[in-house]
Amino acid sequence: MKNVVVIGVGLIGGSFALDIKNKFPDVTIYGIDSNKEHLEEAISLGVIDAEISINQLSKVDLVIIAIPVDATLVLLPEVLDNVAGNTIVFDVGSTKEDICLKVKNHPNRRNYLAVHPIAGTEFSGPSAAIKGLFQNKTNIICEVEETAFKLQEKALALFSDLGMRIRYMNPKAHDKHIAYVSHLSHISSFMLGKTVIEKEKNERDIFDMAGSGFESTVRLAKSSPAMWTPIFKQNKTNVIETLDEYINNLKHFKSLMEKDDFQSVYQEMESTNYIKQILNGIK
């Protein structure tokens, strides 16, 4: 591996760049970003080595696309138009069905691997990039059979070098499950933040009374709307389904309280304590 291109030099793209540079000091890492300031910042932070443009991809070994999922739909076909046969291209988006469909019939489909690393923070931009972000994280790969075998191998070797564990899944199942364990969490957090902000016009009251529990629950409400809006758009059907179920569960909890059925309120919480075992598994 000699030349790597990172499209989108933010949290995820930048973290890939840092780890690749760390493992393979001789690799040159080029960046592409619609935000010129981010590009300059990424160079000055040492996240990437230099700028490149999309029609200069013919001699690169690896292209990582780490931009909002709506932009990926536009850019991935263009990237595939420009790469040579031995270039592996992967995206890292939080939705997989639309993107796989988009390039289904592209002549260079076999250069592409659909990837979703379950890693990140609520921050964004090149300064949010972190060394070792992917260590011990799950990396979901979709439709692996559509990618050329030799290029799969290259990508898997990299993921292994970065410490990731691999799970294979079809794009439809990916989008459905991820709606529950990621997309819904973000909406619940944003709406919790909204509810509290609306009510507490005097923010000193929040400031002083909120503890670590509140902080933990609304942490995701710091996330980037530019990244999350297209995710919700592309995964609309699944996300609406999770929202329906979540809202129904909240309404049911409220109705138990209204009926003074606190024995059932207790049982609702007790049975959900089972989440402990699941979370222990994540660690």
Q: Which of residues 244-283 bind its own copies (CB under 8 A)?
A: 244-247, 249-251, 253-254, 257-258, 260, 262, 265-276, 278-279, 281-282
Q: Give me the least distance between CB of 188 and its own copies, in Å please.
A: 5
Q: Which of residues 188-247 bind its own copies (CB under 8 A)?
A: 188-200, 203, 205-223, 225-226, 228-230, 232-233, 236, 239-240, 242-247
Pair 42, 33: CB distance under 8 Å: yes
141 binds its own copies (CB under 8 A): no
- Closer residue to its own copies (CB): 150 or 236: 236
- Residues in binding contact with its own copies, number by CB under 8 A: 92
HSE toward the beta carbon, residue 167, CA cutoff 13 A? 13
Q: Cα separation of 68 and 90, whole Å?
A: 14
HSE toward the beta carbon, residue 144, CA cutoff 13 A? 15
Structure token pair of residue 141: 């790969």
185 binds its own copies (CB under 8 A): yes
How many C-beta neighbours within 10 Å does residue 31 have?
A: 25
Residue 198 phi, psi dihedral angles, 5° rounding: -60, -40
Q: Give me the least distance between CB of 19 and its own copies, in Å please.
A: 17
Taking CB under 8 A as the criterion, the residue among 12, 18, 83, 119 binding its own copies is 119
CA angle 95, 143, 175 (to 5 degrees): 25
71 binds its own copies (CB under 8 A): no
Q: Give me the least distance between CB of 121 and its own copies, in Å please.
A: 8
